[in-house]
Structure 1
Amino acid sequence: MKSVRISALRKLRLDAKGRPVTDDGYDEHAAAVTSTAAVLTGAGYGTPLSWQTEIAHRLPYGYTQYADLTMRAPDAGVPAMLLEVDRANEPVDDRYNDWFELLAPKADKEKAARRQGAAVHDFRLWSRICPATGREGYVPVAFVFTGKTAAQRESRMRRLEQAARRCFAGTPYPWAGFTAVDYHQAVPVVVTELERITADPVGAAGRVWRRLGRDEWQTLSEALDNPDGERLYRMEEEQSRRRQVKRKVAEREAQRPVCTRCGTKFTDERWQSVIQTSWRSTGDNLCGPCWKEDVDRAEAERAARREAEEAAVREAAEADAKKGRGLFGRRR
């Protein structure tokens, strides 16, 4: 692992009385960092050349968060991931969320404040430095615990889970009927143990990762995926759309007119013709067939009246003609 740059010596830590704090030294922590890079590389996550150590993440309030390792493994589905190697002796907190929320230089603060979901990422500093994650949320952060006892490591994981919940939990969508979670502005945090990785037959490629907020151990890809996030949201959005369409259809059907003569519901064509008619008639409460029956009957009656009138006119004309012949048609 000559190409893996070992993290630098950490500063001497002093207690409140100025006495050196008994702590793991450079050799133990650096060895754990190197071992972590080695087992991940062995599982296909990046190459020895794709690792960097002690990357500084400067915050505006004078604090700098250093990542023990930065992994880039796009071929394994992890474009970037920050790793912290914890020998169960460091403070449990996570300031990465503060760094992810930093605006990029010259970013429009007002526009950024109006953006929702992933749209705000374009205004953030991290998106100018790190590659796109390929998933919802910020660049994932992994905590690799090692040393002490299994119970102590488990305790550390639970403490981290409690302390960092606001960063990784995501936000429920406010719409009724949606159970999906909005992870677009959340930090995906996964944990593992170096001892667990080395004990697994397939190493870091096995089910040795746990996403904070979940109980099961998964592969890294499974742990980083968000089945209850964007994917579920799109599914529930489509279901909501279908429910709305169904509800509108039901509401429209409830308003559909019924023929007052035969009780049949109006067809769409008949209903539309009544709606579009600029004047109202007594037939508007009848369905198409009943209305046509009335129209045909009225037309037949009009035709019969016309025929009767025409016949009467003919008879009158014939009577006049006969009368005229009676007066002048015979010579004396």
Structure 2
Amino acid sequence: MAGKRKTNPAGSTNSYRGDVLRVLGALKVATADQIQRIGAPHLSFRHADKEPPSKRKQTRTASHTGALSDMRKHGLSENGGSTGGGDSLRNLTPKGLEAASYELRRPAGEMGSTARGAGSSGASHPMSVNETVIALLRPKPNLARLADDPPHVQAAAQAAVDSPDGIGIIASFWTEVPLPATGTWNTPGKGGAQADLVLTAPQDGVPLLFIEVDNCHETPEELADKLEKYHRFFRRKVKDTDGRERPMWRTRWNAPDTWSGDSAHPPVLLVFNRLGERNPNLTVPKLSELTSHLWQGQRHKGYHLYDGRIPIIATGLKNLREHGPDGPVFLRFGRDRMQPLREAIGNPRRETAEAHAREEARTHQKAHQAKMRRAAEEQAAKKAAEREARRPVCTGCGTEFTDERWEAAQGQAKGWDTPKESHPHLCDGCKHAAVAAAHEANRQERPEPLPDWAKRKHRLRYARRPRCAECRATFTDERWQAVERTGWDALRPEARPTLCGDCDRRYVTDVRDAWSDEPPHGEQDQAVPEQKGDQHKGTSWFSRLRG
């Protein structure tokens, strides 16, 4: 602790010094009260019960005041006079701006000036600019830092957290930005403007917004002249790094090509703080009339086109502070109603009309697709019915062909090596049966190779294996060889060469049985018919032939 106080006598922490660098780096000049409200808004709730208000303000800004004191010791900040209310103004030194560039993650060359001497006349305009930033930011307290505070403090902080959000963070704002109509960014020429504020918060729906703050000291003509300079700057084109000409402002800031479908210039917000003698309620109508050629769009099917125009919006600092950017306190020139900031910047009527047109187009497309789908289904059903009418029927069993069998029968099977269909009029089952039958017939009709003994015969009675004339059984090799014997062989030829071995033996047996039971010739004629019938039942076919 002793070492820390030796380096930072006021006992400041890195967190509070970082708040100072970020706020002063963006705003250039501010009071400790404004730094605290932006960097540590939870302190406003922690010390809300202290009285009087001066004591409360001193207590909640003590941490940042100590940080400013330590930074002044290190040559990072300095006092820059005081406001009309007596608050000390603080600004950064060149060394402090360099340190702030790291906190804001900006190039050091884009940090701008130190704003030294801004407090010589009370800095009423810079203070109004800072209050505009706070009103747009609407900083939310960190509830984790109030975990040990009384319940009523936490409840008040929770209500602030639940209120509508602001736009951007402190690093989203740039102050005193030159808009050169001639010259360069670093050395702008004459005839250009200087924006009080530039807001870049694409994450919150505001990709680019130029802000002018008026303390009601300027006339409508002076404000119109400033807007003319804006228009001149927006139209200026320079060559980009790719050699193509682009609007100069696009070489520094990123923004979409269109806002709500309009190829318009970036919007300009006029914030009126009623410190001067001029009434903004009278200034705005006059200013709108003087600048109509800058903002007026072309009517088109229920909405306006704002291509090449500047969306100019006006609001009061009091209303902005009370309602924030989401409140209906913004009036866009050419419209007759107040809107939230994002709606005022955009073109809601065009968005609605185009959304309606897209919905109608989608509906029409869906209807057309449904119609085409129905037509395709009807055509497919018609083709399917016609195809079913042509579906062949098996000539064998009468069954309709399957799709696969039909394609195969028509020769539509894929593959160059697919064999030709052999039975195009049969279903798969009948085809398999027919193929099996044909195979069996071919197998039976195929000539059997001659045995070795037959090959040695010069002449054969049977050129192939014979079948029995009685039972149709094929001859065995022995029987075939036996019936092929001729009178020149060692064995005598077979007496019944048309019978197989079994039938030949049965024949011999039947003949023997028939002759052994033959009665004398006289008794045969006197036999009783019934006995003859019984006798025939027990005899063979050969004995029946004899009877």
Query: Taking structure 2 as the reference length, what is the TM-score of the superposition?
Result: 0.35
1:172 Cα deviation after fit? 3.5
The answer to whether the aligner puts 1:192 opposite 2:315 as a matched pair is yes
Aligned length: 212
In the alignment, structure 1 residue 154 sits paired with structure 2 residue 288 = no
Give the distance between the partners of 1:127 and 1:181, measured in 2 at CA.
Answer: 25
Task: Measure the CA separation in 1 of the matches of 2:249 and 2:255.
Answer: 10
Kept after mapping to 2: 8 A contact 1:5/1:53: yes
1:78 paired to 2:211: no
Instruction: Show the counterpart of 2:127.
Output: 31
Q: Paired residue for 1:53, among 148, 163, 175?
A: 175
The 2-side partners of 1:186 and 1:236 are apart by 24
Q: Which runs of structure 2 are paired with 1:98-117 in the superposition (5 Å)?
A: 98-105=232-239
Relative distance call for 1:162 and 1:46 in structure 2 (3 A) is same
Alignment match, 1:232: 353
Aligned equivalent of 2:338: 217
Once the two structures are superposed, residues 74-102 of structure 1 have per-residue CA deviations (whole angstroms, 9 ceiling, x without a partner) of 12100111100001112221121111111
Give the 5 Å matches for 1:1-332. Answer: 1-6=23-28, 25-42=121-138, 43-60=165-182, 62-90=190-218, 91-93=222-224, 94=227, 95-105=229-239, 123-133=246-256, 135=259, 136=262, 137-148=264-275, 152-173=279-300, 178-198=301-321, 200=322, 202-229=323-350, 232=353
Q: Confirm or deny: 8 A CA contact 1:84 1:142 kept in the other structure.
A: yes
State the distance in 2 between where 1:150 and 1:223 align. 27
- Secondary structure of 2:270's partner? strand
| Conserved 8 A contact 1:54-1:66 | yes
Against the structure 1 CA distance between its residues 157 and 30, is the aligned structure 2 distance closer, same or farther, given a 3 Å change threshold? same
Moved more, 42-51 or 123-132: 123-132
Greater shift after overlay, 126-135 or 181-190? 126-135
Give distance in 2, aligned partners of 1:36 and 1:106: 33
Which secondary structure state, in structure 2, belongs to the residue aligned with residue 123 of structure 1? strand
Deviations 1:99-138 (A, max 9, x none): 111122279xxxx9xxxxxxxxx73222222222451212
User: Does the aligned pair in 2 maintain the 1:41–1:47 contact within 8 Å?
Assistant: yes
- How many Å apart are 1:151 and its aligned residue? 7.4
Letter in 1 for 2:179: H
Q: Deviations over 1:260-314 (max 9, x none)?
A: xxxxxxxxxxxxxxxxxxxxxxxxxxxxxxxxxxxxxxxxxxxxxxxxxxxxxxx
Mapped to 2, the partners of 1:195 and 1:27 lie a distance apart of: 19
Tell me which amino acid in the other structure corresponds to 2:174.
Q
CA RMSD of superposed structures (Å): 3.5
Query: Secondary structure at the residue paired with 1:92?
Result: helix
Q: Residue 166 of structure 2 contacts residue 324 of structure 2 at CA under 8 Å; is this kept in 1?
A: no
CA 1:29–1:151 in structure 2 vs 1: closer, same or farther (change >3 Å)?
closer
Secondary structure, aligned partner of 1:228: helix
8 Å Cα contact 2:240-2:246 kept in structure 1:
no
The 3 A distance-change label for structure 1 pair 59 and 149 is closer
SS of 2:207's partner is strand
Moved more, 53-62 or 141-150: 141-150
Give the Cα–Cα distance (whole angstroms) in 2 for the partners of residues 221 and 189 of structure 1.
13
- Checking the alignment, whether the CA contact within 8 Å between 1:80 and 1:139 is kept in structure 2 is yes
Separation (CA, whole Å) in 1 of partners of 2:332 and 2:180 = 26
Q: Which of 1 and 2 has higher RCO (CA within 8 Å, sep 6+)?
A: 1
What is the CA–CA distance in structure 1 between the aligned matches of 2:131 and 2:325, rounded to whole Å?
12
SS in 1 for 2:349: coil
CA distance in 2, matches of 1:26, 1:4: 19
Residue 36 of structure 1 aligns with an amino acid whose one-letter code is T
Q: How has the CA–CA distance of structure 1 residues 130 and 171 changed in structure 2, closer, same or farther, with 3 Å as cutoff?
A: farther
Query: Radius of gyration: which is bigger?
Result: 2
Query: Residue type of the partner of 1:155?
Result: L
CA–CA separation in structure 1 for the residues paired with 2:297 and 2:116: 33
Q: Distance in 1 between matches of 2:116 and 2:214?
A: 13
SS of 1:223's equivalent?
A: helix
CA shift for structure 1 position 40: 0.5
Q: Which blocks of at least 5 consecutive residues in structure 2 are unaligned?
A: 1-22, 30-112, 139-164, 183-188, 362-547
Answer yes or no: is the 8 Å Cα contact 1:171–1:182 preserved in 2: yes
